[in-house]
Amino acid sequence: MARRLARLAEIGVVELPGAGERAVKALGELGVKTVLDLLTYYPRDWADRRATSTISELVEGRETSVHARVRSVTSRRAGGRRSFVQVVLADTKGARLPVTFFNQPWRTRQLARGDEVVVHGRPSAFRGGMQMTNPLLDVVAVAPRAEERAGTAGTAGAGGTAGAGGSDRSRPRRRRRQTGRIVPIYRQSERSGILSYEIADLVSAAIRRAEDECALADPLSAERRRDLGLVSRSDAFHKIHDPGSASEKEAARRRLAFDELWRLQVALQLRRRAAVASSRGIRHSARGELVRRFVRGLPFELTPAQRHGLAEIAHDLERPVAMHRLLQGDVGSGKTVVALATLLVAVQGGHQGALMVPTEVLAEQHLLAARRLLTGLGVPDATRLGGERPLEVALLTSRTPTSERSRVISQLAAGSLDIVVGTHALLTGEVRFSSLGVAVVDEQHRFGVDQRAALREKGSRGLEPDLLVMTATPIPRTAAMTVYGDLDLTVLGELPPGRLPVRTDWVDGPLAEAEVWRHVRAEAAAGRQTYVVCPLVRPGEEPEDGEEPEGGEETPGAEARALHSVVEEAERLGSGELEGLRVGMLHGQMRSVEKEAVMAAFRGGELDVLVATTVIEVGVDVPSATVVVVEDADHFGIAQLHQLRGRVGRGGMPSSCYLLAAPGPTSTAARRLRALEATADGFELAKADLELRGEGTVLGVRQKGRNDLRLASLLLDEDLVVLARELAGAVLDADPGLERHPAFAEELELFVGEEEAAYLLKG
Ligand code: ADP
Ligand code: MG
């Protein structure tokens, strides 16, 4: 019988030899309570201490190990109270290396002439040779202590095995060698007082304990491991914590990463299967007059990608099972049109559509777009002359005035409102639909699973609405498979024709900035327009778009600095750099009618420059605009800058994007700006974003199972993601309830939580 991981989750670290009260408490603070926790408390790095030199080969400042014999050990006092131990080492060639230990008086008891040791450290120059100060030291062999006489300063010592002996509290009893091997470095907790090497010792104890009576179970058979090119689980746990080489460590990491990905894939696929099994969807009829008229009335031809995407969606809509589909497409690829056509399928069948977006401003922008593209469309109404009434679209956000709000709510319940565009406000209990047929969620990554589910529950008569979620941030396909593995995927892989690449420059310093404003004036003289984007509406206020500051972990400088505001900047530019030009303002605190008036003026060419917040990020489409200037660009995330840049380059004229940043941005901010300069490809940028922000933030809180992704990297392990997905699919096809794979089922429970696993497996 082999031991399963679940069993290891039942053994507390307290039970491990060497786990004292202090260590147990400290580990607890690190979230490590069981032997399983300890086994999966992976090193955050590995230090390679295998490089060795002879003494004469030492190079100043270059970290290395030296294998040598102790010549002498002396305790010294240098003025005042500061004492140190001086050890002289000699190698087989006879060269000498003086080594000094400060604050380690016990070294006199540990070491004796003739002992064989390895020291690891950074040599410094000393009297024509080299020396080391406080190096790591391992005793390799102990010289025979002729007499057991104790305590004579300088030479005596209690013998013993490597590193053992002595009663000093700071020396753990059983310590692994720190030199001549690859040493794991653990995230330690200095506050609660547990250090990396103590964790390493306890991990070794945990591994011994895990395997003391029986081997560790491996849910992958030897044959399957061979096919997948993976090492055994037991090997992997050993080698991740104590690799003999870099390739052993990588093989271990891949195996454990595979396990993480595979558990996640099983959970995702089960979730999806459960959703399909329990779904009572609406059989829409995707072909119909309303959608046809909409498409025919558009001011452009659909791109092949849009047509293909719509066909996939139509296929889903016509099935009796509710759609769960992700529409992924780069900025400006035209997702809005696809969303509207999808909503219209619901409407033409007598149902309603809802479009949910994460912010007020986006909701208003989408409403504008919808109004613009849907004008003139009518829905069947037998009570009307001509058998039709105009299609009704309305906005619902937390800022909608009370009277308007009650009108919207009652019309939704009555079925006289066809499409509602809104924020989280749509999720409140008062909002009931007469018959919600299709729900679209834009900028999906900003919503949680629960919110998406809440929207789906707005269906009536037990019918589940079809769901389309859209992401404006393209993420690499493997990441999508992982984060959105429970959704079908449609990719809009091309932009509408006529888009020119936008020249992008990171501008810092007043001279370069003057050049920017000169360019803006020249464009205005030629009848072209400019956006100037600022993070704030008024000085000192919060940025208005409510997105969490990206890469904010290390931007103290940015926080301390005053950010530009629309109100001040419009004033400053209008009477300074851009004097004589027609400068307008747009931000989220303006009333809708004001916003509409300003946008109309800008679109109509009555304004040369629009100073705006990120309200223009989505939905704003003015082909004659050729320049976008982003103030405090270092304050914005990659995805947002990419969106903002997407506002220009739409009219077939060369366009520019200027990223203005205060001198000396943080290193991550600098890398973001450089990434924007280097590429216009959304997928490339998404990768850069993943690298810079860390995968955890990109995954967000979407998946419960995500906490299990410790070693897997969505960027490095694309092949494993694919393999894991295939394996999960094959196993579940053959055994949907995992009855014949109890080990899989048990692990799923362990990592996604019992309740969730029970729910997933019941069906
Ligand atoms: P995103 O995918 O970023 O949400 P939008 O839906 O806002 O992109 O579309 C970007 C712009 O492209 C909009 O102004 C839209 O009207 C326009 N557009 C969409 N589809 C096409 C098309 N097939 N041909 C030309 N322009 C299009
Ligand atoms: Mg969009």
Centroid of ligand 2 to alpha carbon of 705 (angstroms): 28
Smallest CA separation from ligand 1 atom 14, residue: 621
Contact 614, 546 (CB under 8 A): no
- So what's the pLDDT on residue 24? 92
Ligand 1 neighbourhood includes 328 CB (under 6 angstroms): no
Centroid of ligand 2 to alpha carbon of 617 (angstroms): 9
| E strand residue ranges, 78-150 | 83-90, 96-102, 116-121, 124-126, 129-133, 136-141
- So what's the pLDDT on residue 514? 92
Mark the residues whose beta carbon lies below 5 A from ion ligand 2: 472, 618
Ligand approaching nearest to the C-alpha of 442: 2
Q: What single-letter DSSP state applies at residue 603? A: H
Atom of ligand 1 nearest to the CA of 303: 23
Q: Among residues 252, 163, 147, 171, which one has the least CA distance to residue 207?
A: 252
Smallest CA separation from ligand 1 atom 25, residue: 496
| E strand residue ranges, 367-483 | 378-380, 388-390, 393-396, 419-422, 436-441, 466-471
Centroid of ligand 2 to alpha carbon of 370 (angstroms): 12
Contacts of 273 (CB under 8 A, 6+ apart): 732, 736, 763
Smallest CA separation from ligand 1 atom 5, residue: 334
**C-alpha span between 689 and 667 (Å, rounded):** 14
Q: Among 492, 621, 624, name the best residue to mutate to test ligand 1's pocket (greatest count of ligand atoms within 8 A of Cβ).
A: 621
Instruction: Give pTM, 2 decimals.
Output: 0.70
Strand partners, 658: 505, 629
Q: Among residues 202, 270, 219, which one has the least CA distance to residue 5?
A: 219
The three-state secondary structure class of 626 is: strand
The three-state secondary structure class of 330 is: coil
Centroid of ligand 1 to alpha carbon of 191 (angstroms): 54
- So what's the pLDDT on residue 550? 38
The three-state secondary structure class of 354 is: strand
| 538 alpha-carbon distance from chain centroid | 31
**The dihedral of CA 409, 411, 415, 416: what is its sign?**
negative
Contacts of 227 (CB under 8 A, 6+ apart): none
Ligand 1 neighbourhood includes 465 CB (under 6 angstroms): no
- So what's the pLDDT on residue 682? 82
Q: Among 301, 306, 328, 333, name the best residue to mutate to test ligand 1's pocket (greatest count of ligand atoms within 8 A of Cβ).
A: 333
Atom of ligand 1 nearest to the CA of 329: 2
Ligand 1 neighbourhood includes 639 CB (under 6 angstroms): no
Angle at Cα 528 formed by Cα 525 and Cα 529, nearest 5°? Answer: 110
Smallest CA separation from ligand 1 atom 26, residue: 496
Centroid of ligand 1 to alpha carbon of 328 (angstroms): 14
- Return the half-sphere exposure (C-beta side, CA atoms, 13 A cut-off) of residue 386: 5
Strand partners, 121: 64
Q: Among 308, 337, 367, 683, name the best residue to mutate to test ligand 1's pocket (greatest count of ligand atoms within 8 A of Cβ).
A: 337
Q: Supply the angle between the helices 360-374 and 335-348 in degrees, to the nearest 10.
A: 70
Centroid of ligand 2 to alpha carbon of 415 (angstroms): 27
Centroid of ligand 2 to alpha carbon of 419 (angstroms): 17
Burial class, 159, CB count within 10 angstroms (exposed 0-12 / middle 13-18 / buried 19+)? middle
Centroid of ligand 1 to alpha carbon of 589 (angstroms): 26
Ligand 1 neighbourhood includes 619 CB (under 6 angstroms): yes
- So what's the pLDDT on residue 553? 36
Query: Which parts of the chain sit beneath pLDDT 50?
Result: 148-174, 546-558, 700-706
Q: Among 298, 300, 326, 470, name the best residue to mutate to test ligand 1's pocket (greatest count of ligand atoms within 8 A of Cβ).
A: 300
**Residue 521 backbone dihedrals phi, psi, to 5 degrees:** -65, -40
